[in-house]
Chains A and B, each alone.
Chain A
Amino acid sequence: MIEHNVRLGKMMTRSKVLDHLIRDKDNVSIAMTQPMVRFENVTKRYGALTVLDGLNLDIARNEKVSIIGPSGSGKTTVLRMLMTLEQINGGVIWVDGEPLTHMNKHGQLVPASERHLRRVRAKIGMVFQHFNLFPHLTALQNCIEAPVSVLGLSRQEAEARGAELLDMVGLGDKKNHYPIQLSGGQKQRVAIARALAMRPKVMLFDEVTSALDPELVGEVLNVIRTLGTEHDLTMLMVTHQMAFAKEFSDRVCFFHGGKIAEQGTPDQLFGDPQNERTKQFLSAVLEAR
């Protein structure tokens, strides 16, 4: 019961946060429409271990949300569930007003079929910590494989789009290189281009700079920054780059023990954290610097 009240309380603070954001961005329409992504009471367990416990989280259209927290707090799981890489054990995930993990059958929500999953998750793109580029394909081939075989684009169209995206991430001259010939930062930029080639509405970034040498982090963050300012994309990122999260996000969520322990604007969360755990985490991270 207490649990429940706490959760309700959180939902209220969250909607305030949203209102505040919307005024900030001077974008009135968002308040009217449904959220782009909604986690509704989502639970994830690995055997006896509960990784996420009744997660409720709404992400508005074009909102940039960063997820931070100690390892094992379930933050990566949030992205993986949304990408349908993990099955959920309870609750419903909604994308763009449609259930992702479930589908409507005679007015009831039943677990989604493969076909339904494929249709809804077409709106989502993901960039991984370890790039996961296809090693046997060139940078350009990596970017056109899915547009051709999934979206049904012609080869020329897909190649034109791929080349344009590789240009955008600053790799126009590397399009015929194989992943093994690229640096970590370059690989990650190809991976971003590859995900964008599918025209997603939501982009997920899972610790995309964690596997990079420090001097290569900047080039990847710059690409993400450009994306955020120049494109209509809802972005959800798990990150350890506190400075970037602070500068870039509309909202920061601090995860702890499978729950959102605290969330707010970057200024609130980094400047004036309320939760004891958040304070501990932030001071530990800042000390490590």
Chain B
Amino acid sequence: MNIWDWSYVWDAFPYLYRGAIVTVQATLIGFGVALILGLAIALVRQSSNRIVSTATTEVVEFIRSTPLLLQVFFVYYVGPQFGIVISAWGVGIGVLGIHYAAYCSEVYRAGIENVEGGQWEASVALNLSRIRTWRKIILPQAIPPIVPGLGNYFIGMFKDTPILAAIAILEMLQQAKNFGSNNYRYIEAITMAGAFYLVFSLVASAMVHAVSIWLNRRYHLQ
């Protein structure tokens, strides 16, 4: 028996391809949710209402300290107990999005807090409204520097998608494993899946780097 058999590589390809599409879709949609929800959480945390900001901080802490897998289980299984049935796909993307929104909100927060206090003061002196100040002055300065941080979580989310297999979503790694157990050959399929994650991570981080440079230049921040 060969250690590496190319014929299995070709046979595994369709499986991996189907899985890869699911993986990429879940990551893209999930990250869209995380980006928007994360910003919303970060803004709510800036609220001057002590109770609101503290409660939000605690929820973020809780989400960040518990395993994604368990959160997926929680939403997927507890809902039906109360008559709320959500499709596995909906739960998977939703929980991925919420989990990473908690992380992204921290990144946004760092970006917002890094904007100099003087920018707020100048906005008051120019009598800009709060909403206008956020939209035109603070966020355009806060976001470009944190693109690398957000990008890291994008890649992190991609690498976490295999967890969705636990609720029977056939993403790439699960497809690889299924191929392995059908053929009693794991090495090719799992190695290929691994290689795909590695390539995706490297390409994505190069892309994030490029976007970050472009944004910083676009907004003339160093």
Contacts and interface: CB of A to CB of B under 8 A. Distances in A.
Given A128-B118, A178-B220, A180-B222, A195 B127 contact: no
B112 to A, nearest CB: 15
B128 A85 contact: no
A132 B127 contact: no
User: Interface size bucket, A side?
Assistant: 20 to 34
A225 interface: no
Contacts, number: 67
B125 A126 contact: yes
B127 A198 contact: yes
Contacts of B127: 118, 121-122, 146, 150, 198
B169 interface: no
A130 interface: yes
Nearest to B144: A136
A158 B210 CA distance: 35
Interface in B128-174: 128-129, 132, 136-137, 140-141
Contact of A195 (B125, B219, B221): B125
B219 A149 contact: no
B29 interface: no
Nearest to B137: A134
A85 B121 contact: yes
A133 B221 CA distance: 12
Contact of A118 (B129, B137, B140, B220): B129
In this complex, the member of A83, A84, A134 whose beta carbon has the largest number of chain B beta carbons within 10 angstroms is A134
Interface string A227-250: 000000000000000000000000
B119 A132 contact: yes
Contact of B220 (A121, A126, A131, A180): A180
A135 interface: yes
Interface string A107-128: 0000000000010011011101
B126 A145 contact: yes
A83 B220 CA distance: 28
B195 interface: no
B217 to A, nearest CB: 11
B5 interface: no
B113 interface: no
Contact of A128 (B122, B128, B136, B222): B122
B126 A194 contact: yes
B116 interface: yes
Given A126-B125, A133-B122, A135-B220, 4 more contacts: A83-B124, A132-B116, A135-B221, A194-B126
Interface of B: 116, 118-119, 121-122, 124-129, 132, 136-137, 140-141, 219-222
5 contacts: A126-B125, A128-B125, A132-B121, A135-B221, A195-B126
